[in-house]
Amino acid sequence: MNYSIMERKNYTKPIVGYWLLGISGLTFGIVVLGGLTRLTESGLSIVEWKPITGIIPPMNHSQWNEEFKKYQQFPEYKLQNYDMTLSDFKYIYFMEWAHRMWGRMIGIGFILPATYFGIHGYMSRSVTKKVIGLAGLLGFQGLLGWYMVKSGLDEKLISTPNSIARVSHYRLVAHLGSAFLLYAGMFLTGLQIIRDAKIINGTFPMDVAKMLANPALKRFRLFSIGTAVLVFLTSMSGALVAGLDAGLIYNEFPYMGQNIIPPKSELFSTNFDLWRNFFDNPTTVQFDHRVLATTTFTVIMTLWLYSRRFNLPPKVRLLINSVLGVGCLQVTLGISTLIYLVPIPLALAHQAGSLTLLTTVLHLVHAMRKVPIKL
C-alpha cells in the first residue's frame, strides 16, 4: 500500500485526536446539563458573571442570604418566584453553578493540553490552526452564555404587561447553535487526526479505501452532508420551541386542533409582523418544528434506502443503520415529550437525542470521506 500522498510533515500525533474526542464528550455533557438547567428554570439564579471568584459557591448562611437578596432584585423573583424560600433558591443556584463549573472545566481541559501539544510539536500546522479556531469559539461560547442570561435579567421585563422572566429565545438558539458547532468541530477534527495517523502509519485497511474510492458514492456523500445540515436546522428549530415554551400548546400529534395544519389566523397572527410569526409566534414555531422534523426523518429514511444500492464498508453500514435507529428514537421522544406536556426526563432525553443524531450523521459523513492513498 502506498501512502506517499500524505506527507509526514502533516502528521499530528493520535493523542491529540483522542483528546479532542474527550473534550467533545464533555461538550456533549454540558449541552445536556444546560438543557436540565433550562428545564428546571435555574438559569437566572446567578445574577453575576465572575469567571474566577464565581468558582466558589456560598459557604455559609450569611453568604447564601446575600446571594438570595441579589436574586430578589431581578424580574424572575418579582414576577414568578416571589414565594421562593432560601432552600428552593439553593437548588436552582447549584444547577446553574454546576453548569458554569462544567464550562470552566472544559475551558481548562482544552487550553492547557492544547498549549502543551502546540509547544511540543504534537500538531501539524493545519491542525494547530483548527485548534486555535476552536479555542476562539470556546471563548465566544462562554461570552454568549452570559449575554443570553443578561436578557432574562432585564428590568424592563417587570414593566411589560403579561411578561415572563426568561432569556431571549434568539440568544438561546445562538447559544445552543454555537455549542453544537463547537462540538462538531472538536468531534470531526478528532476523528480526522486519528484517521490520518492510520493512513500515514500504513494501518488503514486497503479494502475500505478501495470501497470509498467508488465514484458512484459522490452523491451519497453529498446526501449525507445535506442530512447533517437538516438535522442541525431541526435542532435549532427545537431550541426556538423550547425558548418560547411552544411545546406546551397543541399537545397532540399529528393534529394541531382539528387539522394537521392549525388555522391560518393562528399561524399568521396579527400580533406579530408577518416574518416574525416564524420566530416569535409559538403556534407557528411549533408547526415549523413539526415540518422540519418530519422532513428530516423522511430524508433519513431515504438516505438509508439509497445506501442499499452500494457496497459499503462495514463501519459505514453500521453508521447508516445507526442514523436510522437514532432517528426513529428521536421522533418517538419528540412526540412523547409533546403529548405528555414536556416532562423533564423526556424533554432532556429529546435534547440529548438531537445531538446524538447529529453525532451519528457527522460520523457517517466523516467515514465516507475518500482516503488519500494510491491504490
- pTM higher than 0.85: yes
Alpha helices in the chain (DSSP H): 14-39, 61-71, 75-79, 86-119, 125-151, 156-159, 169-201, 206-212, 218-243, 264-267, 277-280, 282-307, 314-339, 344-367
| Domain's final residue, options 178, 204, 230 | 204
Q: Which domain holds residue 215?
A: 205-375
Q: Is pLDDT of 4 > 70?
A: no
Looking at per-residue pLDDT, the higher value among 151 and 202 belongs to 151
Task: Please answer whether residues 34 and 177 qualify as being in contact, where contact means their C-beta atoms are separated by less than 8 angstroms.
Answer: no
Buried b (16+ CB within 10 A) or exposed e, 76-113: bbeeebeebeeeebbebbbbbbbbbbbbeebbeebeeb
The pLDDT value given to residue 8: 54
Same domain? For 188 and 78 the reply is yes
The pLDDT value given to residue 162: 81
Overall number of domains in the chain: 2
Calculate mean pLDDT across residues 21-36. Answer: 98
Same domain? For 231 and 136 the reply is no
Taken as a whole, the chain contains a residue count of 375
Calculate mean pLDDT across residues 329-345. Answer: 98
Q: pLDDT-derived band of residue 161, with 50, 70 and 90 as boundaries?
A: confident
Same domain? For 108 and 219 the reply is no
Q: pLDDT-derived band of residue 269, with 50, 70 and 90 as boundaries?
A: very high
Same domain? For 137 and 22 the reply is yes
Q: For the chain, what is the mean pLDDT?
A: 95
Task: Please answer whether residues 262 and 282 qualify as being in contact, where contact means their C-beta atoms are separated by less than 8 angstroms.
Answer: no
Same domain? For 253 and 158 the reply is no
Calculate mean pLDDT across residues 9-38. Answer: 95
Q: Is pLDDT of 3 > 70?
A: no
Buried b (16+ CB within 10 A) or exposed e, 234-270: bbbbbbbbbbbebbebbeeeeebeeeeebeeebbebe
Same domain? For 219 and 191 the reply is no
Same domain? For 171 and 48 the reply is yes
Same domain? For 325 and 257 the reply is yes
| Domain's final residue, options 177, 204, 231 | 204
- Angstrom CA distances, 282 to 37, 79, 249, 293, 296, stand at 21, 21, 8, 16, 21
CB atoms within 10 A of CB 201: 11
CA dist 145 and 371 (Å) reads 39
Q: What is the pLDDT of residues 60-76, one digit of tens each?
A: 999 999 999 999 999 99
Same domain? For 199 and 227 the reply is no
Same domain? For 285 and 328 the reply is yes
Q: In this structure, what C-alpha cell is assigned to residue 107?
A: 475551558
CA dist 275 and 279 (Å) reads 8
Task: Please answer whether residues 326 and 367 qualify as being in contact, where contact means their C-beta atoms are separated by less than 8 angstroms.
Answer: no
Q: pLDDT-derived band of residue 1, with 50, 70 and 90 as boundaries?
A: very low
| Domain's final residue, options 145, 176, 204 | 204
Q: pLDDT-derived band of residue 323, with 50, 70 and 90 as boundaries?
A: very high
Same domain? For 233 and 267 the reply is yes
Task: Please answer whether residues 167 and 243 qualify as being in contact, where contact means their C-beta atoms are separated by less than 8 angstroms.
Answer: yes
Calculate mean pLDDT across residues 260-281. Answer: 95
